[in-house]
Amino acid sequence: MLKKTAMIAILGVAFACACNGESEDGELVDGIFTEEEWAKIGELSPLEDPPPDPTNRYEDDPAAAAFGQKLFFETAYAGPLMIGDDGSNGGLGDAGETGKVSCASCHEGPWLIDLRSTPNNAALGAGWIPRNSASMINVAYYAPWIENNGLLDSLWSESIVDVEFDLGFNSSRLRLAHAIYDNHRDEYNAIFDPDLDPALDPLSAEAARFPADARPGSPEWEAMTVEDQDHVTEMMANVGKALAAYLKLLVSKNAPFDRYVAGESDAINEAAKRGLKLFVGKAGCVECHATPHFSDDDFHNNGLAAEGPNIVTDEKGRYDAIDFLLGNEFNSSGRWSDDPNTGRLDGVVKDDGLIGLWRTKGLRHIAETPPYMHTGQFQTLEEVVDFYNEGGHDAGFQGTKDDVIVPLNLSDAEKSDLVEFLSTLTGEEVSPDLLRNTLAP
Ligand code: HEC
Ligand code: HEC
């Protein structure tokens, strides 16, 4: 605390000196921000390292991260496509084909977003996931709620949920186990304990213990011993932990905005400074986009009437997530968590007040990751700012709008200043080494 106060004081002096002459501005930081505004701005920068996740003991293991990077590109375990390429939807192959989906299918390019599904608002895997795909850069800052409705309470559990999700990989944990055994056994065994069971080898005399395709609920799964089931489920959790270790490295810092807050007065232009003043003031954005990753990690109703191709218009957001979250065998208090006592799920109950709430999205590199909202229904930041300027939609949204979502009465110049500010949040691109398909020869 002391450090931050001191920093603000020093910057205040530095900026006050930079704008000599205008005596009436003498009190204003950089000639534009009140002390109160500058204190709020100080809460938004710098971006430190992502928070620790004690439920994943491999999260800082470089070998696990290197393995996770390979797995990000692995398609071998993907189940049959339910919707094929129709020549215009960006589909991943013909309906019924297997081995076509990887994480990188929907998380591509320097910002790891969906660059393929057409139209680009929702994501096409084995089927249409009725959501816009998310950037993987800086995803490890969301804590603990992952996904737009907080369906998961750790990055590692998110990283495996798609395997058995029909619209994602439409696969099974036994398909995954065989793919890991066939393609990555040595690397897996070097990181995790116990080693994968040699009966996963299809040529093993005991191969029948591990069917080719089975998951909880299927007759093949129910026929397995509990020990063999647990062996496969633990493997699945470990795969999630390796993927999460990789995702934790995908960090982008040092945006022009950060350099500005650190004292470089001309790191952002005057329009962006005016936009920043609106962001922490009259436009009220900072009420929810409130931390260095620009999300308060909480759930709000911004009055969005969901619409668009392949979108489910009556999703209830946080409300719909609770049953799955509490019942998820991979949640933070479950047996596969490396710290079941984090208390993340304390007080989480399904309640009507959660209808229509979504997790506040982070806004780092926001200019690089259109379209916007969980529905991908806005193509530009101008459209997003118009939406907030009107106080959200008038009707058609679920639940009740947050009190702070009201018409803002911004002028056209103010709206463009706000967009200019949002464009200063793009930090350094992550190293190409971290984006490389390390599975490829
Ligand atoms: C078919 C497309 C698709 C595939 C394949 C896919 N994802 Fe995603 N991913 C999405 C979509 C869509 C979302 C947004 C879901 C939501 O939050 O509502 C998402 C969200 C996420 C998030 C949470 C982001 C956030 O803001 O909380 C993580 C982490 C993630 N994906 C990791 C992965 C990993 C790891 C894989 C591979 C095992 C993967 N994804 C495969 C489409 C995909
Ligand atoms: C009441 C809390 C709240 C306030 C105030 C708020 N937001 Fe949001 N914001 C959210 C939530 C929640 C989402 C995610 C909604 C969704 O995906 O459906 C979001 C999403 C966004 C997105 C889309 C991000 C993406 O990657 O899709 C942008 C951009 C954004 N807000 C900018 C702003 C700006 C600019 C302001 C001020 C004018 C603002 N927000 C005010 C809660 C808020």
**What topology does CATH give the domain 2-49+254-317+355-432?**
Cytochrome Bc1 Complex; Chain D, domain 2 (1.10.760)
Residue 82 has pLDDT above 80, yes or no: yes
Residue 9 has pLDDT above 50, yes or no: no
The pLDDT of residue 202: 94
Torsion of CA 131, 240, 144, 349, to 10 degrees: 70
Residue 194 burial (10 A CB sphere; 0-12, 13-18, 19+): exposed
Segment 300-325 mean pLDDT: 98
State which ligand 2 atom lies nearest to the alpha carbon of 359: 12
The pLDDT of residue 441: 72
Domain at 62-250: CATH code: 1.10.760.10
State which ligand 1 atom lies nearest to the alpha carbon of 146: 27
The response to whether residue 71 sits with its C-beta less than 6 Å from ligand 1 reads: no
Residue 76 has pLDDT above 80, yes or no: yes
User: Whose Cα sits closest to atom 35 in ligand 1?
Assistant: 159
Residue 18 has pLDDT above 90, yes or no: no
Give tens-digit pLDDT for 343-380: 999 999 999 999 999 999 999 999 999 999 999 999 99
Residue 441 burial (10 A CB sphere; 0-12, 13-18, 19+): exposed
Name the band, by pLDDT with cuts 50, 70 and 90, for residue 440. confident
Give tens-digit pLDDT for 228-239: 999 999 999 999
Give tens-digit pLDDT for 381-394: 999 999 999 999 99
User: Whose Cα sits closest to atom 26 in ligand 2?
Assistant: 372
In the chain, what percentage of residues exceed pLDDT 90? 93
State which ligand 2 atom lies nearest to the alpha carbon of 366: 26
Name the band, by pLDDT with cuts 50, 70 and 90, for residue 26. low
Name the band, by pLDDT with cuts 50, 70 and 90, for residue 21. very low
When the pLDDT of each residue in the chain is averaged and rounded to a whole number, the result is 95
In the chain, list all ranges with CATH 1.10.760.10. 2-49+254-317+355-432, 62-250
| Beta-carbon count within 10 A of 433 CB | 9
User: Whose Cα sits closest to atom 11 in ligand 1?
Assistant: 133
Give tens-digit pLDDT for 130-139: 999 999 999 9
Lowest-confidence segment of 3-7, 322-326, 423-427 by average pLDDT:
3-7
Residue 19 has pLDDT above 50, yes or no: no
Segment 14-20 mean pLDDT: 42
Name the nearest CA neighbour of 123 among 391, 423, 375, 419.
Answer: 375
The pLDDT of residue 5: 42
Q: Cα–Cα distance between 428 and 256 in angstroms, integer?
A: 9
Give tens-digit pLDDT for 37-75: 999 999 999 999 999 999 999 999 999 999 999 999 999
For residues 198 and 165, the answer to whether their CB atoms sit within 8 Å is no
Residue 17 has pLDDT above 90, yes or no: no
- Of all ligands present, the nearest one to the C-alpha of 77 is 1
Q: Cα–Cα distance between 412 and 433 in angstroms, integer?
A: 42
The pLDDT of residue 6: 39
Residue 10 has pLDDT above 50, yes or no: no
Query: CA angle, corner 377, sides to 372 and 382, nearest 5?
Result: 60
The response to whether residue 373 sits with its C-beta less than 6 Å from ligand 2 reads: yes
| Beta-carbon count within 10 A of 271 CB | 18
The pLDDT of residue 196: 98
Which residues contact residue 430 at a Cβ distance below 8 angstroms, ignoring those fewer than 6 apart? 110, 137, 249, 250, 251, 252
State which ligand 1 atom lies nearest to the alpha carbon of 160: 38
Which tokens sit at 70? 């390979």
Residue 36 burial (10 A CB sphere; 0-12, 13-18, 19+): exposed
The b/e string for 411-421 (b: 16+ C-beta within 10 A; e otherwise) is: eeebbbbbbbb
CA 279 to ligand 1 center in whole angstroms: 28
